[in-house]
Amino acid sequence: MEITGHTRLLAILADPIHHVKTPQAINGYLRAHRLDGVLVPIHVAPEALETVVTGLRAMKNLGGFVITVPHKTAIAALCDTVEPHATAIGAVNCVRRNADGTLSGTMLDGLGFVEGMKAHGINPRGLRAYLAGAGGAANAIAFALAEAGVTHLTIANRTREKSDDLAARLAKVHPGLPVSTAPTSVAGYDLIVNATSLGLREGDPLPLDVSALEPSQIVAEIIMSPEMTPLLVAAKSKGCRIHLGRPMLDAQLALMTAYMGLRT
């Protein structure tokens, strides 16, 4: 599609910027859905973030921008409003410029994960969930699983302080949800999610003990490459239903473009 005077401008802010895949992904999505927008990469050092954001506020044809490393925490203070779950997570990954120039921030990683599962026929509501990891991605997914209605959440992380801290922040927003961070096996859970980085690199150890997996369980990944991580290979061989990493991205492309004001 041609860029014209009507085209809505979107951006991604990052440092470094060369590795980002969001421009290709969002522009592909916009083209496929015939939405009149274009997303460009903007390389912003941390010390220039405030200056750049002040300039972006003044751009009347800007729909919004995606935020990634290292700005996901700092951007929250530069927004006029931030969704409560993003505040609790401590990170914002998508900002909308409203018509009056104010900025609204949200975090769509976790919702993208849940929507990606729903798109493949898995609804977390009523499930007992086991989440491996307590880093950035796991934080977003924990809040989204709680919001989606899991009945129990265990957060298993190598560094216990991080899972305990995540559980404490979750308890403030979802006081009724039983959350555990004690080391345990995956036995008895309906949904098992790997939100650690284990599986990205060849030779990584498995993120959890797969010996207790049973065919009734769903095992989900957020890693997209390789598509079949060693965890998914093991889960499949045990007869579990598996859920790949890619749908999280696909769902998030739709969520991000809609949040920034471009709707199908």
Q: Which residues are catalytic?
A: 72
Say whether residue 247 binds ligand ATR (CB under 6 A). no
Give 62 or 166: the residue with its C-beta nearer to ligand ATR.
Answer: 166
52, 127, 137, 254: residue in contact with ligand ATR (rule CB under 6 A) = 137
Say whether residue 138 binds ligand ATR (CB under 6 A). yes
Say whether residue 193 binds ligand ATR (CB under 6 A). no
For residue 247, which phi and psi values (nearest 5 degrees)?
-55, -25
As measured in angstroms, the least distance from the Cβ of 200 to ligand ATR is: 9
* CA 253 – CA 149 distance, rounded (Å): 23
Say whether residue 135 binds ligand ATR (CB under 6 A). yes
In single-letter form, the type of residue at position 46 comes to P
Give 10 or 137: the residue with its C-beta nearer to ligand ATR.
Answer: 137
> Sign of dihedral through CA atoms 263, 120, 122, 187?
negative
Token pair of 214 as six digits: 């049973």
For residue 187, which phi and psi values (nearest 5 degrees)?
-60, 135
As measured in angstroms, the least distance from the Cβ of 230 to ligand ATR is: 13
33, 118, 152, 162: residue in contact with ligand ATR (rule CB under 6 A) = 162
* Residues near ligand ATR (CB under 6 A), total: 13
Give 27 or 68: the residue with its C-beta nearer to ligand ATR.
Answer: 68
Task: Give residues with Cβ within 8 angstroms of 160, minimum separation 6.
Answer: 181
Give 63 or 245: the residue with its C-beta nearer to ligand ATR.
Answer: 245
Query: What order of strands is seen across the sheet that includes strand 191-194?
Result: 179-180, 152-156, 128-132, 191-194, 218-221, 241-243
